[in-house]
């Protein structure tokens, strides 16, 4: 449960480094690495940095998605499309890499059931973002997903368009072997404090994971949670 507070300029490089270290660690004791990716804008430059590396063992990686908007694939709001275009801008898919897409274009309940079947027992590396209202994945404040402890994937309703979504649930988040929550910008500072201190927003589900925040996103944390953490 590390708290990394980084200079905004360093954020993407530090997140890239964390991800690469965890992939290496997982593959020291396993043939495959189950990596689940976050949607939204924050991680895209990190994915673009990963795309420039030639040392990521993609052939040993299974890619999953933490949530999806119920919009057609290959539209700008579709997480799968924006994430894959960032990771593999030339459209090539490395040999041996397996990609499991949440089919947001299908009937939500059925799509959730189908996706649940392809999930491994535990995700090795889970990446998450946080919304300014404290949501994570597509678990929004007041969502039924907050209390879900059986289903691992379910439909959800967002508080901002696209409203219909699919999301992983708390058991998947809490079962991840390595979890990184990436948060940038002062607009998220209140959500960060509510997640890590007040525990009264959905992102609190991820509070036992590693959090990488820039200085602005961490500015509302109590001083004792900010001291000496700058990297």
Q: How far apart are CA 123 and CA 108, in angstroms?
A: 22
Q: Which is nearer to ligand 6PG, 13 or 163 (CB)?
A: 163
Instruction: Tell me the HSE value of 74 on the side-chain side, using a 13 A CA sphere.
Output: 1
Instruction: Tell me the HSE value of 167 on the side-chain side, using a 13 A CA sphere.
Output: 25
Q: Which is nearer to ligand 6PG, 142 or 222 (CB)?
A: 142
Q: Which is nearer to ligand 6PG, 30 or 75 (CB)?
A: 75
Per the CB < 8 A criterion, the answer to whether 166 and 67 are in contact is: yes
Residue nearest to ligand 6PG as judged by C-beta position: 129
**Min CB(136)–ligand 6PG separation in Å:** 5
Q: Which is nearer to ligand 6PG, 94 or 132 (CB)?
A: 132
Q: How far apart are CA 188 and CA 5, in angstroms?
A: 14
**Min CB(17)–ligand 6PG separation in Å:** 19
Q: Phi and psi at residue 78, in whole multiples of 5°?
A: -85, 120
Q: What 8-state DSSP symbol labels residue 138?
A: T
**Min CB(228)–ligand 6PG separation in Å:** 27
Q: Which is nearer to ligand 6PG, 136 or 220 (CB)?
A: 136
Q: How far apart are CA 200 and CA 175, in angstroms?
A: 20
Using CB under 6 A, list all residues that contact ligand 6PG.
Answer: 38-42, 66-67, 79, 129-131, 135-138
**Min CB(150)–ligand 6PG separation in Å:** 22
Q: How far apart are CA 135 and CA 69, in angstroms?
A: 14
**Min CB(128)–ligand 6PG separation in Å:** 6
């Amino acid at each position: 449960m590390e708290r990394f507070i980084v200079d905004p300029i360093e954020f993407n490089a530090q997140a890239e480094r964390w991800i690469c270290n965890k992939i290496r660690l997982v593959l020291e004791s396993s043939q495959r690495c189950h990596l689940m990716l976050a949607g939204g804008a924050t991680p895209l430059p990190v994915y673009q940095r990963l795309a420039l590396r030639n040392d990521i063992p993609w052939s040993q990686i299974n890619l999953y998605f933490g949530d999806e908007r119920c919009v057609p694939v290959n539209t700008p709001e579709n997480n799968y499309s924006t994430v894959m275009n960032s990771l593999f801008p030339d459209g090539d898919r490395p040999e041996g890499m397996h990609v499991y897409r949440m089919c947001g274009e299908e009937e939500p309940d059925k799509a959730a059931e189908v996706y649940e079947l392809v999930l491994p027992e535990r995700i090795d590396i889970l990446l998450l973002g946080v919304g300014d209202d404290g949501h994570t994945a597509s678990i929004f404040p007041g969502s039924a997903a907050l209390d879900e402890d059986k289903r691992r994937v379910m439909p959800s309703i967002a508080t901002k368009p696209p409203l219909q979504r699919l999301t992983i649930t708390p058991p998947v988040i809490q079962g991840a072997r390595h979890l990184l929550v990436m948060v940038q910008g002062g607009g998220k500072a209140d959500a960060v404090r509510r997640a890590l201190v007040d525990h009264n927003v959905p992102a609190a589900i991820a509070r036992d994971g590693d959090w990488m925040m820039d200085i602005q996103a961490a500015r509302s944390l109590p001083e004792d949670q900010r001291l000496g953490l700058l990297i």
